[in-house]
Structure 1
Amino acid sequence: MRFDAVYYKPDSLDYPLGKKLKEQFGSLPWIPIESHNAIQEMRDKPNSEFGRMKRNLIIGTRKTHKYVENHKVSDYLVPYTSSGCTAMCLYCYLVCNYNKCAYLRLFVNREQMLDRLIRQGEKSSSPLTFEIGSNSDLILENTITGNLEYTISRFAHEGRGKLTFPTKFDMVEPLLDLEHRGKIIFRMSVNPQPLIQKVELGTSSLRQRIDAVNRMCAAGYPCGLLIAPVMLTEGWRELYTGLLEELNEGLSGQMKKQMFIEIILMTYSYIHRAINGDAFPQAPDLYDKELMTGRGRGRYCYRAEVRAEAEAFFRTEVKRILGDVHILYIS
């Protein structure tokens, strides 16, 4: 990844990873900031600058460590080593939290965060699964920080329970030979290739994602797929039937035998529409007033009857094309 500048909290340079990043990106301008959440010059930029803002790297330390209960793949969503992303998926839920400032933030106090996570697992009466990738794409982040090698290797020996994270990227090579002891659940997010090209800007292709999850499965990682987010655009049935057929053809026998599937329908927002309209005027408008309804302040989701139709479609088509693969949930 190429960046134009680094914005950093001065105390981040007190950590080994902070020093490493300073050396790694030493040729770029380094601009000190007081808070990674309140960079005024970024906030003042127009929405049309969204893509260019993603070419800045922000470095700090994570102060918030609130674990959020989750009862899907994991027991808790855990704030971890990054938030935001350099990709520009037009529906990205982080935009709801950070608005146009959904650029990549790296938090260099990884030792502190993993120490706390390991202690949390030890205190539980039963093994827990922690989702560490809900705020960013850790495969993408890992190309800069090496944090997944650090996390997986250490958790395999010291951690109780499991870790999990999803990705839209294929750069899994550094993870394949790690000793993970089956404690890391790898989940690949997939969508039809035409939607990846138009909506999931800056991410790996469907073919690359299939190859990556096959390789992780072959390396012994428990693996699953997220069909997410499902976008009910024109011709969506044909698009998602095509996706399932491509998965059936491309996934290894080993992967199809042991995998699970999560299916998540898209939630959109007024903020997305405002930013996308200015930053990506040629991109498709994902808002459909005929299919969507309000969901909280400024957010939209598919109407209940539309969601029910989509759920019936996926349950039927997954069964027809992929057989008895376990669908964990459709939400």
Structure 2
Amino acid sequence: MGFDAVYYEPAALDYELGKMLRAKYSGLPWNEIESHNRIPELTASENREFPKLKQHLIIGVRKTHKYVPNYKVSDWLVPYTSSGCRAMCLYCYLVCNYNKCAYLRLFVNREQMLDKILKKGAESPAPQTFEIGSNSDLVLENTITENLIYTIERFAREGRGHLTFPTKFDMVKPLLSLDHRGKTIFRMSVNPEEIIRRIELGTSPLRARIRALNDMAEAGYPVGMLIAPIILVPDWKRLYEELIGQLAEELSPKVKQNGFIEIILMTYSFVQNAINTDAFPNGVKLFDREMMTGRGRGKYSYRNEIRAETESFLREKLFKELPDMPILYIS
């Protein structure tokens, strides 16, 4: 994966993964920083430089390990080995405070983070599920660090409960032969190919995602599928009906019989709109004043009546085409 520069906390080089990354990217400029959270020369960049910032790699030590309760697929949202991403989805909720969270940040203290998950799981009265991929795309990150290989294998040996993560990428081949013992729940995010191509910039095509999901199910992983985020472009009903038809045709019997579905409607923000306007002037306009309403400070979501219509439409189509896959929630 091509980067043009590395920004690093000196303490990161005290860790095994930090040393590996130093050797792997020895040909790039290495810029010392005080904190991965504060890189003045990057945060001062203009919005139009957003795609350029995505070419930088930030390496640090994760110091905060706060677990957030979750009531969907997992019991806990867990900060893990990376934050941010190389892709440029125009709606990405990781983009905050303008450019401060745009670029990929890798955290080298993976042993410490997994130790805490293992301890939390062992001490809990009932088996817990830990969402480790809410801050980044771990399949993409794995192509750089092999952290998923380390995590899945170690958790299989020592863990209680489950790990889970979503992805928009198809590079799952290194995961297929792992001894996962059914303790990692793999979830693939899908959207109509037109939306992937025009809005989920830099991610894997739909057919490749479907193949990866089928392969992971065949390898014995518990699997789920996110139809997310639902984006109500002008011809959204046609696009999502075609998507559901394609899923019914191309998903394997194992996925259809054992998998589950999550549905999330897009939330957008003032910050994302400001960056997209400057960085992608010809991009799809995601803010729709007629269909959206304020939701919290600087955020927008679809109006309640539009959400209800969307939910009814999707439930009807999915019940017809994928009747054995339960919809866990629509949010």
| Helix, strand or coil at the partner of 1:301 | strand
Unpaired runs of 5+ residues, structure 2, are none
Q: Percent identity, aligned pairs only?
A: 65
| Helix, strand or coil at the partner of 1:95 | coil
Paired amino acid for 2:153: S
Paired amino acid for 2:201: L
Paired residues of 1:42 and 1:101 also in contact (CA < 8 A): no
> Are 2:28 and 1:28 aligned?
yes
Paired residues of 1:226 and 1:263 also in contact (CA < 8 A): yes
Deviation at 1:86, TM superposition (A): 0.4
CA distance in 2, matches of 1:77, 1:98: 24
CA distance in 2, matches of 1:108, 1:315: 42
For structure 1, which segment, 85-94 or 251-260, has the greater mean C-alpha deviation from structure 2 after superposition? 251-260
Paired residues of 2:37 and 2:100 also in contact (CA < 8 A): no
CA distance in 1, matches of 2:222, 2:249: 20
Paired residues of 2:256 and 2:324 also in contact (CA < 8 A): no
Corresponding residue for residue 224 of structure 1: 224
Paired residues of 2:293 and 2:300 also in contact (CA < 8 A): yes
Corresponding residue for residue 168 of structure 2: 168
Paired residues of 1:214 and 1:255 also in contact (CA < 8 A): yes
Deviation at 1:240, TM superposition (A): 0.2
Unpaired runs of 5+ residues, structure 1, are none
Paired residues of 1:191 and 1:227 also in contact (CA < 8 A): yes
Corresponding residue for residue 58 of structure 1: 58
- 1:50-86: per-residue Cα shift (whole Å, max 9, x none)? 0010000000000000000001000000000000000
Paired residues of 1:128 and 1:161 also in contact (CA < 8 A): yes
Paired amino acid for 2:177: D
Paired residues of 2:12 and 2:61 also in contact (CA < 8 A): yes
Corresponding residue for residue 204 of structure 1: 204
Deviation at 1:255, TM superposition (A): 1.1
| Helix, strand or coil at the partner of 1:232 | coil
CA distance in 2, matches of 1:286, 1:93: 13
Corresponding residue for residue 154 of structure 2: 154
Deviation at 1:116, TM superposition (A): 0.6
> Are 2:188 and 1:188 aligned?
yes
Alignment of 1:25-174 (within 5 A): 25-96=25-96, 99=99, 101-174=101-174
Deviation at 1:98, TM superposition (A): 6.2
| Helix, strand or coil at the partner of 1:94 | coil
Corresponding residue for residue 240 of structure 1: 240
Paired residues of 1:187 and 1:223 also in contact (CA < 8 A): yes
CA distance in 2, matches of 1:325, 1:182: 19
Paired residues of 1:100 and 1:275 also in contact (CA < 8 A): no
Paired residues of 2:98 and 2:272 also in contact (CA < 8 A): no
Corresponding residue for residue 304 of structure 1: 304
Paired amino acid for 1:163: L
Paired residues of 1:139 and 1:148 also in contact (CA < 8 A): yes
Paired residues of 1:47 and 1:100 also in contact (CA < 8 A): no
CA distance in 1, matches of 2:9, 2:61: 8
Alpha carbons of 1:106 and 1:87: their partners in 2 closer, same or farther (altered >3 Å)? Answer: same
CA distance in 1, matches of 2:281, 2:17: 38
CA distance in 2, matches of 1:138, 1:261: 20
What is the aligned-residue RMSD (CA, Å)?
0.8
Paired residues of 2:94 and 2:101 also in contact (CA < 8 A): no
TM-score by length of 1: 0.99
Matched pairs, number: 331
Paired amino acid for 2:26: G
- 1:147-167: per-residue Cα shift (whole Å, max 9, x none)? 000000000010000000000
Paired residues of 2:214 and 2:252 also in contact (CA < 8 A): yes
- 1:290-310: per-residue Cα shift (whole Å, max 9, x none)? 110000111000011110100
Paired amino acid for 1:311: E
- 1:264-321: per-residue Cα shift (whole Å, max 9, x none)? 0000011111000110111011001111000011100001111010010111010111
Deviation at 1:254, TM superposition (A): 1.3
Deviation at 1:100, TM superposition (A): 5.2
| Helix, strand or coil at the partner of 2:96 | helix
> Are 2:2 and 1:16 aligned?
no
Corresponding residue for residue 177 of structure 2: 177
Alpha carbons of 1:316 and 1:261: their partners in 2 closer, same or farther (altered >3 Å)? Answer: same
Deviation at 1:99, TM superposition (A): 3.9
